Amino acid sequence: MNKLGFKSLTFTICCLFVCSISALCQTQDSSKRKKIYHVNYLTNSLIIAGGLATDYPAIGRIKGKANLTDAEVLALNTDIINPIDRWALHQNSSQHAMYSKMSDYIEVPIYVVLPTIFAFDKKIRKDWLDLLFMYTEGHVITFTFYNYSWLGPTFQNRYRPITYYTDLPMNDRTTGNNRNSAYSGHTASVAFTSFFMAKVYCDYHPNLGGCKYLIYTAALIPPVIMGYLRVRALAHFPSDDMVGLSVGAVVGIVIPELHKFNYKGVTLGLTSIPGATELNMCWALPSGK
């Protein structure tokens, strides 16, 4: 699945998320109640739209990298691969296509099924629209960070493990997409989903005590599974998945935490230009009377 298809999938998932939550939601209490998160729909819409708009040129640039030359492939040296990553070079190469398809197929259940679990929580489902905006915003920021940060393929040209397998056809090893091993966008997005859910659940249930650590531990399971599949697909090294998991987890925790603040005069924005992206915050202090 290419990044353009992956982006379209995100839109579809968000629509399914709305339908699933709406179908199970009860009528919201019309009385005022204290919300955990504060969402400015206009600001969030601008962040989402800006992120999506700037992701399209990045997708083309990343997918349009030049093919590897035969000389580049023949000069690859496995001895320079660190011990943590080296086991990725000892897979059954005949099964890499199967694992690649598996990693694509489980994306939909993770993105759709996991968030809809919130519909069964009476406290959480009342704020489904706020959570939808936050969920979409977080996914867009995760994509944008992948597309524009120095950790991602815009600035990194790390060869995928598949390029090292001499038993595979040269056409499979020399495609330009094989320069995009660093880092795993699949794992980052899955990690965002699971850690976003863990953070939101813990915020709505502050009396969990030590159980919250079990919830965050459980949040590791989906991205670890995705990372394993991506390694078996010869698409990434373990360290690529570790970076992706870390990025997704941080975004999944930070986005809800930022929305817990309700300072008047505070605005959030996302700025992206070719070669740079940033999340900025502006706090206008009240003037004296």
The predicted-structure confidence for 49-64, as pLDDT tens digits, reads as follows: 988 888 888 888 898 9
pTM: 0.81
* Number of separate domains in the chain: 1
| pLDDT at 184 (0 to 100) | 95
| pLDDT at 272 (0 to 100) | 54
| pLDDT at 20 (0 to 100) | 47
Is residue 288 in some structural domain? Answer: no
Domain enclosing residue 118, as ranges: 3-25+33-281
No. of helices (H) and no. of strands (E), the chain: 14, 2
Angstrom distance (rounded) from CA 103 to CA 108: 10
Is residue 68 in some structural domain? Answer: yes
| pLDDT at 8 (0 to 100) | 46
Is residue 286 in some structural domain? Answer: no
Is residue 222 in some structural domain? Answer: yes
Average pLDDT, consecutive stretches of 10 residues, N- to C-terminus, the chain (289 residues)? 47 48 43 78 90 86 92 92 94 93 86 86 91 94 93 94 95 94 94 96 93 95 96 97 97 95 58 57 54
- Within 8 A by CB and 6+ apart from 273, the residues are 54
Is residue 107 in some structural domain? Answer: yes
Is residue 72 in some structural domain? Answer: yes
